[in-house]
Every structure is written in structure tokens, then in C-alpha cells.
Amino acid sequence: MTLAIILSAIAMTVIVGVRYLLVSGAFAWITTRKHPGLYLGLDPQVRREIIWSLASAALYGIPAGVVAWGWQHRGWTEVYADVHAYPLWYLPVSVFAYLLLHDAWFYWTHRWMHRPAPFKLAHALHHASRPPTAWAAMAFHPIEALSGAIVIPLLVFFVPIHIYGLGVVLTIMTVMGVTNHMGWEIFPRFMWSGPLGGWLITASHHQRHHELYGCNYGLYFRHWDRLCHTDRGVGDFTREHARAARRADAA
Ligand SMILES: [Zn+2]
Ligand SMILES: [Zn+2]
């Protein structure tokens, strides 16, 4: 049994690590096409981002692997496989609920990590990427990684979700983690400005967090930032992109 749990934790670590390499790698490659020069000269930083991200993969993989084992063999968690176990309308509602709960947890722990002592200890590492790249998606200090890694493995014990719904949540989590850090906006304008954009977080919003620090703490949604007056609007990438173009020309 212990061996099975350990194997499950290792398997999940490998899955999280490979998923990171594939998704970050794909978006980093698209970045070199769209904005040549954007990551030029950042090799030492990218190497650091990859090492810390792979270390985080283990911290994400272990709790997820243990819970996945318990789900399969002990009937742990509220994750269901029969799509009719709950009404169909519950499917999107559960996905939305996971995103909202994760976002709330992230906002408050992230804000706490911007207090001087926790910042130095646990969060300065993430902000050492200046500017972050697509590889920074999971570049966290172990304390920060752990605070993020426990959210979904805990939620599955309390909030029922279909296994595919969980897949959607994890996909959104992965894609937003990468695209929010890659240094340009991939999403259409309505998602980061205007009535809907005022509530959603994409790269334009998170860019400003990395630029100004004490604002824009949210993960997926802007309501906590807006409610707590920590929203400083969306940033823009013009200066960075002009610099990248000059670097690409010079290279
Ligand atoms: Zn931060
Ligand atoms: Zn960030």
C-alpha cells in the first residue's frame, strides 16, 4: 500500500513536470515567433525558472498523487465519474466554484506574501524574474509552491466535481499560469478590457503586478482586487516589446 502511494506520488510528479515542460515550452516557442528578442539575454533567468518550476512539480505532484490514490482505492474525495451523479447544470457551476475558491485563496495568501518578511522568505523568488517568461509559470519558493499545491487536493474533499470538470480546472490553471507570465497578451481584447475584461485576469493584468508589486494580486478574477482597492488596471507591453525588437535587430 505504501509503495502504491509512493508510486502514485511519483507518477503525478512526472505528469505535472512533463505538462509544465510541454506547455511552457510550447508558449516559449510561440513567443520566439511572435516577439523575437523578448527572451534574448535571459538564459540564466530561464534556467533558474525551469529548475524552480520542476522542484515545484514535486510539491504539486505529491499531494495530488496521494489524493488520486485515495480516490481510486479508498473512495476518498467528492470527485465523481458518472456524469449523471449530479444535474448537468452543476458541471459548469462546479468548475466556476473551483476557480472562484482557488482565486480567493490565492488573492489572500498572495497579499500576505507581499508583507516584508514573508516576501523575503517565500515570494521574492517569483519576482526575481524580471520580466518573467513563459518558463516562470511554476517558479516558486517551496513555501509558495506548497500553499498553491494544497488547494485543489483539499477542495476535492468538500466540493463535488466531475473528473472532466477537474480536468478543465487544471487546464485553465496551467494555461493561465503560463500565459500570464510570458510577456505578451495572447487573449482577445474583450477578455482584458471592457465590461468582461474588468473582471478577468490575463497577462495584461498580471504584468502590472510584476511591474508595481503592491497591486493586482488576483489569479483568475479581479473582484477581490477591486473590492479591496488593490486593482491598478491593466499594464501594457509596448516598452518591453520595443526593447525586444531592438535586441533582435542587434543580434
Ligand atoms: Zn507577487
Ligand atoms: Zn507572477
DSSP classification of residue 121: I
Cα-to-centroid distance, 75 and ligand 1 (Å): 37
- CA–CA separation, 210 vs 195, rounded Å? 24
3-state helix, strand, coil in the chain (%, to 5): 70, 0, 30
* Separation CA 91–CA 219 (nearest Å): 21
Q: Measured in angstroms, how far is the CA atom of residue 220 from the centroid of ligand 2?
A: 12
Q: Give the pLDDT confidence score for residue 154 in this predicted structure.
A: 97
Task: Using the mean position of ligand 1's atoms as its centre, give its distance from the Cα of residue 127 in Å.
Answer: 6
Residue 111's φ and ψ, nearest 5 degrees, are -65, -40
Long-range contacts of 118-127 (CB under 8 A, 24+ apart): 122/147, 125/52, 127/210, 127/213
Q: Is 115 helix (H, G, I), strand (E, B) or coil?
A: coil
Give the Å distance between the CA of 217 and the centre of ligand 2.
9
Of 7, 27, 43, 35, the closest CA to residue 175 belongs to 27
pLDDT at 249: 86
Q: Provide the pLDDT for residue 247.
A: 85
Task: Round to whole Å and give the CA distance between 191 and 61.
Answer: 31
The structural domain count of the chain equals 1
**How far apart are the CA of 242 and the centre of ligand 1, in A?**
25
Buried b (16+ CB within 10 A) or exposed e, 142-158: eebbbbbbbbbbebbee
| Distance in Å, CA 71 to ligand 2 centroid | 31
Ligand nearest, relative to CA of residue 114: 1
> Percent of the chain beyond pLDDT 70?
100
* pLDDT on residue 198: 96
> Which ligand has an atom closest to residue 230 CA?
1
Question: With 90 as the cut, is the pLDDT of residue 1 above it?
Answer: no
Find the domain containing 115 and state its range.
2-250
Place of cell 513567443: 31
CA of 103 to the centre of ligand 2 (A): 14
Instruction: Please give the mean pLDDT across all residues of the chain.
Output: 96
CA distance 137 to 247: 24
Residue 248 above 90 pLDDT?
Answer: no
pLDDT over 80 (residue 45)? yes
Residue 127 Cα to ligand 2 middle (Å): 7
Task: Write down the pLDDT at residue 75.
Answer: 93
Q: How far is the CA of 206 from the centre of ligand 2 (A)?
A: 6
Q: Using the mean position of ligand 2's atoms as its centre, give its distance from the Cα of residue 60 in Å.
A: 17
**DSSP assignment, residue 80?**
E
Looking at the CA of 123, which ligand is closest? 1
Instruction: Retrieve residue 48's grid coordinates.
Output: 533558474
Q: Which ligand has the minimum distance to the alpha carbon of residue 144?
A: 1
The alpha carbon torsion through 174, 161, 63, 61 (nearest 10 deg) reads -30
137 CA from centroid of ligand 2 (Å): 7
Average pLDDT on 136-164 reads 97
Q: What is the length of the chain?
A: 251
Query: In angstroms, what is the span from residue 46 Cα to ligand 1's centroid?
Result: 18
Amino acid type, 125? L
Is 143 within 8 Å of 121 (Cβ atoms)?
A: yes
**Could you read off the pLDDT of 65-87 as tens digits, one per residue?**
999 999 999 999 999 999 999 99
State pLDDT tens for residues 190-233.
999 999 999 999 999 999 999 999 999 999 999 999 999 999 99
Q: How far is the CA of 79 from the centre of ligand 1 (A)?
A: 31
Res 251 pLDDT > 80:
no
